[in-house]
Chains A and B, each alone.
Chain A
Amino acid sequence: MDFNLDMNLNDQYGKNKKATFDKEALYDILIIGSGPAGLSAALYAKRKGLKVGVVSNKVGGQVVDTTSVENYLGIDFATGEGLVEKFMHHVQTLDVPMLKDADVKSFEKTESGFEVTLGRGEIIKSKTLIMATGSKPRRLGVKGEDAFMGRGVAYCAICDGPLFEGRDVVVAGGGNSAVEAAIDLSKIANSVTLVHRSEFRADQIIIDQLKKQSNVTIHLQTEIQEVFGDGLVSGIKVLDKATGETRELKIEGLFVEIGYLPNNQLVIDQLDLNNRGEIIVNALNETSMKGVFAAGDVTDTPYKQIIVAASEGAKAALTANDYINRG
């Protein structure tokens, strides 16, 4: 039996309690988001001696839902959650105040900087902002997907996998996340079918692992067209692009792992975005608005990787520091 105790639990209660977030203060840098980009920005900004705060609605961001991370330099293996705990621990040794479970509704430019309005109506003031709001799972956008969400259509394999013990499931996608989900599910489910509309994008090292599983079938160049069922998912309709034939797969679970969409709701009307909805940043992580910087999955920086997000967060904090020092 395993126990995955959060090693930062002590920071929430009693004597080790960390700095509380002061909602009345004027921050030098307010970081919105607490994934790798946000946490790395917090570390760099705090070390510069700046007054920095983090507003978070999901500590660790997408990384928490990742089974294993094996490509972060210096860490040969970590669970996604374990890596986030290390990040958090590192940031908390510097006592950076973090407002958790808080949604940001809007932000506005003022004379002294910015005013950020939270979901509950509170207003936080800061001289600069770093947008590190990350991304969310992309949906297939096919008939039946919405209706069966939480009824057989799932977006978190480690969370929902155990509920499909001994059943037949499909994983949609061909990237690292999809292949890892398929490997994990093959240990729980009766059978796993990986369906992807083009060729694999995943690292060869894990594709090889997937192919070793005896209960896994792979259908590339195959498009999911519909999810159907009666109350719960009972199957999907797929198109084999090579033959042009449509057929049905009888399955009870569909795990969608087809990449991510930027969490851009906050900035959509105020910052320049590219055609994928990502915030356009330059090499210094500056956005189209002076004093607003951005980093990580929400930006147009290519390759959505943990290590890329972390380094972009560091850059954004350093640029914000220069901006503040220039006055």
Chain B
Amino acid sequence: MALLNEQLQGQLKEVFGSMKNEITLAVFTKEGDCYSCEETISFMKEIEALSDKISLETYDLEKDSERASEYNVVMAPSIVLLDSDKKYRGVKFNGIPAGHEINSFIPGILEVSGAGEALPEQLMAQVSALNKPVNIKVFVTLSCPHCAGAVQKAHKLALESDLIDAEMVEAQTFDELSNKFNVSSVPKIVINDQYEFVGNQPLEVFLEEIAKTQ
């Protein structure tokens, strides 16, 4: 049975009509104990079928370890979005982006396809001034209505800078990692595993915390 019902498929087809360039979904799973790996693959196959501009590649976290390290993938399932040049732009989802996270996943596809808007100038200047790598983890639950907004912001920043790697982390799937960072309210944003804040805060707050890593 399809995960996405007909109505949803119709809505998504319409949204994907706004995609500009092609994108690739590179999905990493692993054998054995992997919560939601199978569902994630089914979900991605259904997404791929909804637009000619979307293609799917599947990898194994261990067997394709070189590829995994190229995209900084250390968990499974993990979905990496590649642009029309097959370039990794720092947009990644760890865990299935179902529930409310579909509202960060779909915009992620559109943004990587080039359909998004540019950041305001002032913020762009701050992003361009970065000179050290930045990792942004956004911990979410699938029932959190405003978590997707925080994930979108992190991804938006990643698209504007090759130094920023931004990843959604579904807190229940990766509970060990969540416990390590004491995640008990979401969205929780952790930058370079060191600086953190809670809530879907304005982009300015993301950039303030990012500045601390430079």
Interface residue? A103 (CB, 8 A): yes
Known: A13-B110, A160-B141. A5 touches B11 (CB 8 A): yes
Docked-complex contact A3 and B99, CB < 8 angstroms: yes
B contacts with A: majority SS: loop
Interface residue? A231 (CB, 8 A): yes
Docked-complex contact A101 and B102, CB < 8 angstroms: no
Known: A5-B102, A119-B202, A150-B198. A158 touches B145 (CB 8 A): yes
Binds B, one of A161-169, A198-206, A217-225: A161-169
Within 8 A of A (CB), among B188-207: 188, 198, 200, 202-204
Within 8 A of B (CB), among A14-70: 14-16, 57-58, 64-65
A-chain residues with CB within 8 Å of residue B116 when the two chains form the complex: 13
Question: CA of A175 to CA of B102 in the docked complex: distance in angstroms?
Answer: 32
Interface residue? B178 (CB, 8 A): yes
Question: CA of A51 to CA of B106 in the docked complex: distance in angstroms?
Answer: 32
Interface residue? A12 (CB, 8 A): yes
Partner of A150, one of B39, B146, B184: B184
Partner of B18, one of A13, A64, A80, A103: A13
Within 8 A of A (CB), among B102-158: 102-103, 106-107, 110, 115-116, 120, 122, 141-147
B-chain residues with CB within 8 Å of residue A9 when the two chains form the complex: 11, 15, 103, 106-107
B-chain residues with CB within 8 Å of residue A81 when the two chains form the complex: 100, 145
Question: CA of A81 to CA of B106 in the docked complex: distance in angstroms?
Answer: 18
Interface residue? A78 (CB, 8 A): no
Q: Mark B77-102, 1 if CB is under 8 A from A, else 0.
A: 00000000000000000001011101
Known: A4-B99, A150-B184. A159 touches B141 (CB 8 A): yes
Interface residue? B3 (CB, 8 A): yes
Docked-complex contact B145 and A10, CB < 8 angstroms: no
Q: Which residue of A lies closest to B113 (CB)?
A: A13
Known: A15-B18, A64-B146, A159-B144. A101 touches B98 (CB 8 A): no
Interface residue? A154 (CB, 8 A): yes
Within 8 A of A (CB), among B41-87: 43
Q: Which residue of A lies closest to B102 (CB)?
A: A3
Interface residue? B214 (CB, 8 A): no
B-chain residues with CB within 8 Å of residue A160 when the two chains form the complex: 141, 144, 184-186
Q: Which residue of B lies closest to A165 (CB)?
A: B172
Report the minimal beta-carbon distance from B144 to chain A, rounded to whole angstroms: 4
A-chain residues with CB within 8 Å of residue B12 when the two chains form the complex: 5
Q: Which residue of B lies closest to A100 (CB)?
A: B149
Question: CA of A114 to CA of B69 in the docked complex: distance in angstroms?
Answer: 54
Docked-complex contact B186 and A120, CB < 8 angstroms: no
Docked-complex contact B145 and A253, CB < 8 angstroms: no
Chain A: interface residue total (CB-CB under 8 A):
43
Question: CA of A15 to CA of B14 in the docked complex: distance in angstroms?
Answer: 10
A-chain residues with CB within 8 Å of residue B96 when the two chains form the complex: 1
Docked-complex contact A2 and B98, CB < 8 angstroms: yes
Question: CA of A159 to CA of B96 in the docked complex: distance in angstroms?
Answer: 17
Partner of A5, one of B3, B8, B19, B146: B8
Docked-complex contact B186 and A159, CB < 8 angstroms: yes
Report the minimal beta-carbon distance from B185 to chain A, rounded to whole angstroms: 4
Interface residue? A266 (CB, 8 A): no
Interface residue? B163 (CB, 8 A): no
A-chain residues with CB within 8 Å of residue B3 when the two chains form the complex: 1, 3
B-chain residues with CB within 8 Å of residue A207 when the two chains form the complex: none
Report the minimal beta-carbon distance from B206 to chain A, rounded to whole angstroms: 11
Docked-complex contact B145 and A101, CB < 8 angstroms: no
Question: CA of A116 to CA of B143 in the docked complex: distance in angstroms?
Answer: 35
A-chain residues with CB within 8 Å of residue B144 when the two chains form the complex: 156, 158-160
Question: CA of A70 to CA of B193 in the docked complex: distance in angstroms?
Answer: 42
Known: A58-B146, A119-B202. A149 touches B185 (CB 8 A): yes
Within 8 A of B (CB), among A93-108: 101, 103
Docked-complex contact A232 and B145, CB < 8 angstroms: no
Known: A57-B202, A64-B146, A163-B183. A10 touches B14 (CB 8 A): yes
- Residues of B in contact with A (beta carbons under 8 Å apart): 3-4, 8, 11-12, 14-15, 17-19, 39, 43, 96, 98-100, 102-103, 106-107, 110, 115-116, 120, 122, 141-147, 171-172, 178, 182-186, 188, 198, 200, 202-204
17 A/B residue pairs, CB under 8 Å, sorted by A:
A3-B102, A7-B11, A10-B14, A13-B18, A13-B110, A101-B203, A103-B202, A155-B185, A158-B145, A159-B147, A160-B184, A160-B186, A161-B141, A162-B141, A162-B171, A163-B141, A164-B184
The 9 A-B residue pairs whose C-beta atoms are closest, nearest first, are: A14-B18, A159-B144, A13-B18, A150-B185, A150-B198, A162-B141, A3-B102, A6-B103, A64-B145
Given contacts A64-B145, A159-B145, 15 further A-B contacts (CB under 8 A): A3-B98, A57-B202, A64-B146, A80-B145, A119-B204, A120-B120, A150-B185, A155-B185, A159-B147, A160-B141, A162-B142, A163-B141, A163-B178, A163-B184, A163-B185
